[in-house]
Structure 1
Amino acid sequence: MNWVLWSLLSAIFAAATAILAKIGVAHIDSNLATAIRTTVVVVFAWTIAIALGKHGEIRQVDNQAWLFLTLSGLATGLSWLCYFRALQLGPASRVAPIDKLSVVLVIIFAAIFLKEKISPLAIAGGFMIAAGAVAMVFA
């Protein structure tokens, strides 16, 4: 499978995550809900790594990879804590579009930090995503 199909599957699972999480946080603290979800993700991810025989490669991970994966994990944790609290307080149909403004931020950050070339069409798409998110929030 190529990256486009994996990206579409990611979007499908992200949508399911929002709906399932909204139901899940209805009667418990959002931080506890995040901890439960994170535990499931950890067990699931290690199960996949072990099942595919990739766990032995951990010895080959260099310091830079450890640093950036650790920082990414911290950012993920903070994102999830904020997302679950937002879902607990607001409607999923409005929380999710704001959360997806991350797409716009990735475009900006990729240009700044990764020196990726962003096409005019991608910039226009980013503006449309941002406008769509704003429209959905205030609809």
Structure 2
Amino acid sequence: MLRESWVIYALGSAFFAALTAIFGKVGVQGLNSNQATLIRTVVILAVIAGIVSLRDEWQKLDLISARSWLFLVLSGIATGLSWLCYYRALQLGPVSKVAPIDKLSVALVIVLGILFLGEKLTWAVALGGSLILLGSIVIIAF
């Protein structure tokens, strides 16, 4: 199972998301959370542009379908709003509660994946999503 490349990348995502929470909590102290999000976004843009350039992965923009453009723009808007909320929450609350509550997105994406993408709900996915939901409720309540 761990040999599948998507699992390795997903674990990398989790690891870097954890670092994001810790670094973000420290970085947002004494700074407007929206400005902190802007700084983070500029850094991300520079890093990703550098990676695409180094790997020579640039594509002509007119070759990207209108559908891809639409959903990438919508994803970008959702990401930006998520980051603005996340950094404000980090500024106001403890990272040990903010980050796990933020991961409610995992349970939400399971439901949205079923509703909009036609993904199948397995017992393992249902159980895992339910445990994430339960964990978030415990964190919020106590």
Please give the TM-score of this superposition, normalised by the length of structure 2.
Answer: 0.94
Compute the RMSD of aligned alpha carbons. Answer: 1.1
Runs of 4+ in 1 over 6 A off after TM superposition: none
Q: How does 1:26-45 map to 2 (within 5 A)?
A: 26-45=29-48
1:66 paired residue among 51, 69, 85: 69
Do residues 103 (structure 1) and 138 (structure 2) align? no
Identity %: 48
Q: Distance in 2 between matches of 1:93 and 1:5?
A: 24
CA contact 1:111–1:118 (8 Å) conserved in 2: yes
Q: Secondary structure at the match of 1:75?
A: helix
Instruction: Render the CA deviation track for 1:5-60: whole Å, top value 9, x for unaligned.
Output: 11001000000000000000011000000000000001111111111111134342
Q: Distance in 1 between matches of 2:18 and 2:30?
A: 21
2:10 paired residue among 7, 12, 19: 7
Q: Secondary structure at the match of 1:56?
A: coil
Q: Distance in 2 between matches of 1:12 and 1:94?
A: 17
CA contact 1:97–1:137 (8 Å) conserved in 2: no
Do residues 112 (structure 1) and 115 (structure 2) align? yes
Please give the TM-score of this superposition, normalised by the length of structure 1.
Answer: 0.96
Q: What code does the residue aligned with 2:46 have? A: V
Q: Distance in 1 between matches of 2:76 and 2:118?
A: 23
Structure 1 unaligned blocks of 5 or more: none
Aligned residue number for residue 133 of structure 2: 130
Structure 2 unaligned blocks of 5 or more: none
